Amino acid sequence: MTRPMTRRTFIVLGGSAAATAATLGTPTWATAAPTVARARLSADPFTLGVASGEPMPDSVVLWTRLAPDPLDGGGMPDRRVPVRWQVATDDRFRHVVRSGTASAAPEWGHSVHVDARGLRSDREYYYRFRADDYLSPVGRTRTAPEAGRRHSHLRWAFASCQNFQDGFYTPHDHLAGEDLAFVAFLGDYIYESLPNPTAVRTHEGTDEPYSLLNYRNRHAQYRTDPSLQAAHAAHPWVVTWDDHEVDNNWADDIPQDPDQQTPEEFRARRIAAFQAYWEHMPLRRRNQPVGPDLQLYRRLEFGDLVSLSVLDTRQYRSDQVETEQEAWDPSRSMTGDAQERWLMGGLRRSDARWNVLANQVMWAQNDRKVGPERVFDFDNWDGYRAQRKRLLTRFADVRNPLIMTGDRHATWACDLKPDFDDEASPVVGAEITGSSISSGGNPNVEAFHETYDPIMAESPHWKFIDNQRGYVVLDADRDRIEAELKVVETVIEPTSPMKTYARFVVEDGVPGITVVDEAARPAAPLYDADRRFIPGPNGPVRLDRGQSYLRD
């Protein structure tokens, strides 16, 4: 079992580089980097923290980026800089098990992506970097259990959508303190939107990002957030993107507004956005972009318990349509043919107990209008209906499929069916669409339920809905996955309490999802007219298994 790391622990461990060096000492570092005469770094380059990701049984990616001046291109000299790294079994680095020197290159933003190999499976490790005399904060990470080997328990979390302007990352403070094997981040890591001077916090720059420099500055601004740094430093992350890492609702080579960006301009923008994304994420070198392409869909295995298929539903998708009829065009694809073959082949062959997808936009049909008239967001799988039906039909042959979804800035626990309009269509899996870290700001809970409760009554595959900010923790053993929706009270203050608001269960061999218990609906509005939280009696209430408040 891992020891939960609180944010406070990381402040103590991390602190400023100088303080860390003073308290930890540096007895285990090799004495000198190559003695080439050159200027030393004149300011702490570790302003963006550290991260790890892509846990495998024997290796994990260690990340940092040298950026003494993070919001203005990084502020590094135009040369390669050696960065030493260490992996230890203890947070004081008395037992260093792997170490080396990476080269931070200016053409990759002085980012560092170390594939630390030769590690033991299912183990906790600590890591840090050193550049010149500067020591990075300390990160904790964890390798995966041996692939295919019998494994009985895994606990992880997923999160998405962290618009910097919509709020502070109060959920990340709590995420940093969870006991997890990994965090899956499902997209909208940054938002490309314009700076809004009246927002809770304001985006850097003067425009949407278009150039590599612009996207680097935007990523760097997000990464300076101490709560986000703590969540990265506490767990390995498995990341994928949605649209806002590039441009709202982009699809393959088509931008949101083709009248305002020529194909050449959008191609250059996509190249810049992809490069900055790779530079800032704990991804392997094999995921480094090549021109306008970045291979992001991939699969990670956690023993014989969980197989995690990470999707990319942006880079290869058909452009959005306007009508339900167009959405049934069988040539339309969310994934592209190659990714569809990879996904379904892997799912069908998988021996894992749980086949989990890290996905961006909702699969479950989500009508936005009460009554017989139907309104859909065709950016979701609702706009790719023929492919969705084809894949969900084949889910019947997949063992325990569970889709984790972002994008919606709300929580939607759903049963999945090949045909959501046909009552006789079988339930073939479950989807949890999970809230947002900050996007949407503090929610208007009353208005949300006024709109969606009546639609939920017409949507029997919806089992639970909620629009508070937070994340979802999943705890899997061989018989069931128990999911907890954790929500904060506010994102417009720098810190917030958090509570478990609902629990869901997926049982081995039983397609679909069950709401186990959920918080009582508040009698009074949770938020006042200024969207400030009003404390009230809204603790958890246990309901009978299978019961949902809208079905009473």
Q: Which residues bind Ca ion (CB under 5 A)?
A: 367, 369, 374
Q: Is 439 in the site for Fe ion (CB under 5 A)?
A: yes
Closest separation in Å from C-beta 367 to Ca ion: 4
> Binding partner of residue 245 among Ca ion, Fe ion, none, CB under 5 to 8 Å per kind?
none
Burial 374-404 (b: 16+ CB within 10 A, else e): eebbbbbbbbbbebbbebbebbeebbbbbbb
- Cα(28)–Cα(326) distance, integer angstroms: 63
Closest separation in Å from C-beta 373 to Ca ion: 5
> Binding partner of residue 374 among Ca ion, Fe ion, none, CB under 5 to 8 Å per kind?
Ca ion
Record the tokens describing residue 267, joined without a space: 């191609």
Q: Which is nearer to Ca ion, 198 or 325 (CB)?
A: 325
Record the tokens describing residue 533, joined without a space: 């939280």
Q: Which is nearer to Ca ion, 194 or 375 (CB)?
A: 375
Q: Which is nearer to Ca ion, 247 or 367 (CB)?
A: 367
- Residue 98 sits at the vertex; the CA angle it makes with 94 and 103, to the nearest 5 degrees, is 120
Q: Which is nearer to Ca ion, 423 or 544 (CB)?
A: 423
Q: Is 379 in the site for Fe ion (CB under 5 A)?
A: no
Q: Smallest Cα–Cα separation from 138: which of 273, 292, 20?
A: 20
Closest separation in Å from C-beta 454 to Ca ion: 9
Binding segment toward Fe ion, per CB under 5 A, in 158-166, 373-381, 495-503, 516-524? 158-166
Looking at 17, 56, 67, 161, which residue binds Fe ion (CB under 5 A)? Answer: 161
Closest separation in Å from C-beta 280 to Fe ion: 17
Q: Which is nearer to Fe ion, 249 or 496 (CB)?
A: 249
Per CB under 5 A, contacts with Fe ion among 170-189 are: 188
Sign of the torsion formed by the C-alpha atoms of 196, 199, 203 and 204: positive
The distance between the two most distant Cα atoms of the chain, rounded to a whole number of Å, is 75
Closest separation in Å from C-beta 244 to Fe ion: 6
- The residue to which tokens 């962290």 are assigned: 162
> Binding partner of residue 188 among Ca ion, Fe ion, none, CB under 5 to 8 Å per kind?
Fe ion
Q: Is 233 in the site for Fe ion (CB under 5 A)?
A: no
The secondary structure of 231-271 as a DSSP string is HHHHSEEEE---STTTSTT-BTTB-S-TTTS-HHHHHHHHH
Closest separation in Å from C-beta 160 to Fe ion: 7
- The helices-and-strands tally (H runs, E runs) of the chain is 10, 23
CB 138 within 8 A of CB 128: yes
Q: Which is nearer to Fe ion, 367 or 379 (CB)?
A: 379
Q: Which is nearer to Fe ion, 145 or 443 (CB)?
A: 443
CB 200 within 8 A of CB 490: no
Q: At what angle do helices 337-349 and 385-394 cross, to 10 degrees?
A: 20
Which residues of this protein are in contact with Fe ion, per CB under 5 A? 161, 188, 439
